[in-house]
């Protein structure tokens, strides 16, 4: 070996090792800073949950922004996470999380949370079992939760526009009969009673001709509001054309349907309208029928329609059972 090619001393070797380690540390620190900045800019929460220990072991920086709660608290106590779930969605959120252990992943689940300031928000969550080569072999459920509140509101608005009558807010004709088909099939399958009602606003053409179409629109809206007030939660109500409305009463026999129709009739009779000093009221004619053996939905519609026109011939402002 040449004199100029002497092996490095122990001190030189240690110095080189330290410089190399320092370089590795710097590179790791840069990577951590890069990952942290990416996570901080991500409008979604990355999280990891130890199912066996029932403990949240990690949440990304967006947790505090989306949940409006302290990350330190949720890492210290899983109950903080549970407290953030909207009560009606608690069972679904817990069961769907547990199902990850059975199937390996859940690609899509939606539930509501209550932020620390009390605001309710919608989340979309994807979660899966961590690979065995990560986290020191510890099995964790990891996931990403995204705030979809605005997207949900847009979906609801599009659904409302597609299914509701723009003027009255009642179901539109297409949506009414789609839902009516389902209610009819359910009543048939389970042998339950079902009633069908049609109503028409009496002398509506005279209202439009004498007071204008804007007043006619107000009458339609107020009658629809009366129905929304009177009908039961599970009843279906819709505007099916012009001044004609329909209702379906599931689990309701003829007598019960007549009682609802009578309440609706009284509410409409109380309505008062004013146009250039002239006050006037409105009335409705109603026809009711009930599901019978061998009936199709069209049979119910046709009988209720015939009963409604019979009510017109009997002087209007009355109810006829067909």
64 catalytic per annotation: no
Which is the catalytic residue, given 32, 80, 110, 243? 243
The values of phi and psi at residue 60, to 5°, are -80, 170
**Quick check: 202 and 224 in contact, CB under 8 A?**
no
State the DSSP code for 190. Answer: H
Whether 196 contacts 214, CB under 8 Å: no
**Three-class secondary structure of residue 43 per DSSP:** coil
Q: What CA–CA distance (Å, rounded) separates 97 from 48?
A: 12
Give the 3-state secondary structure percentages of the chain, helix then strand then coil, rounded to 5. Answer: 50, 25, 25
Cα–Cα distance measured from residue 58 to residue 35, given in angstroms and rounded to the nearest whole number: 14
**Secondary structure (3-state) at 320:** strand
Instruction: Give the residue from 191, 163, 165, 190 showing the smallest Cα distance to 178.
Output: 163
**Residue 279 dihedral angles phi and psi, to the nearest 5°:** -100, 140
The HSE-up count of residue 291 (CA atoms within 13 Å, CB side) is 23
The residues that bridge with 144 in the sheet, in sequence order, are 46, 126
Residues 6+ apart with CB under 8 A from 186: 192, 250
Structure-token match 């070996």, residue found: 1
CA atoms of 66 and 113, how far apart (whole Å): 10
Active site residues: 243
């Amino acid at each position: 070996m040449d004199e100029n090619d002497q092996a490095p001393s122990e001190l030189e070797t240690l110095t080189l090792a330290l410089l190399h380690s320092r370089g590795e540390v710097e590179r790791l620190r840069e990577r951590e800073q890069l990952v942290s900045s990416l996570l901080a800019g991500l409008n979604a929460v990355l999280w990891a949950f130890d199912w066996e220990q029932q403990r949240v072991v990690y949440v990304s920086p967006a947790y505090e922004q989306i949940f409006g709660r302290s990350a330190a608290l949720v890492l210290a106590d899983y109950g903080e996470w549970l407290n953030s779930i909207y009560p009606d969605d608690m069972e679904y959120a817990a069961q769907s999380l547990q199902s990850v252990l059975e199937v390996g992943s859940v690609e899509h689940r939606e539930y509501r949370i209550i932020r620390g300031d009390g605001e309710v928000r919608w989340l979309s969550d994807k979660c899966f079992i961590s690979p065995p080569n990560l986290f020191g072999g510890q099995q964790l459920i990891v996931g990403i939760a995204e705030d979809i509140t605005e997207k949900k509101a847009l979906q609801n608005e599009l659904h409302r526009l597609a299914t509701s009558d723009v003027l009255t807010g009642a179901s539109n004709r297409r949506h009414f009969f789609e839902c009516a088909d389902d209610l009819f099939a359910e009543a048939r399958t389970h042998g339950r009673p079902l009633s069908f009602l049609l109503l028409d606003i009496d002398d509506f053409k005279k209202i439009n001709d004498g007071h204008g179409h804007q007043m006619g629109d107000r009458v339609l809206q107020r009658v629809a509001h009366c129905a929304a007030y009177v009908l039961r939660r599970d009843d279906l109500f819709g505007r099916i054309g012009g001044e004609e409305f329909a209702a379906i009463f599931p689990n309701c026999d003829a007598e019960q349907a007549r009682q609802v129709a009578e309440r609706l009739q009284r509410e409409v009779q109380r309505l008062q309208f004013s146009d250039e000093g002239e006050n006037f009221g409105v009335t409705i004619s109603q026809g009711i029928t009930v599901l019978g053996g061998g009936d199709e939905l069209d049979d119910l519609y046709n009988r209720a329609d015939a009963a409604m026109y019979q009510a017109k011939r009997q002087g209007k402002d009355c109810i006829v059972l067909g």
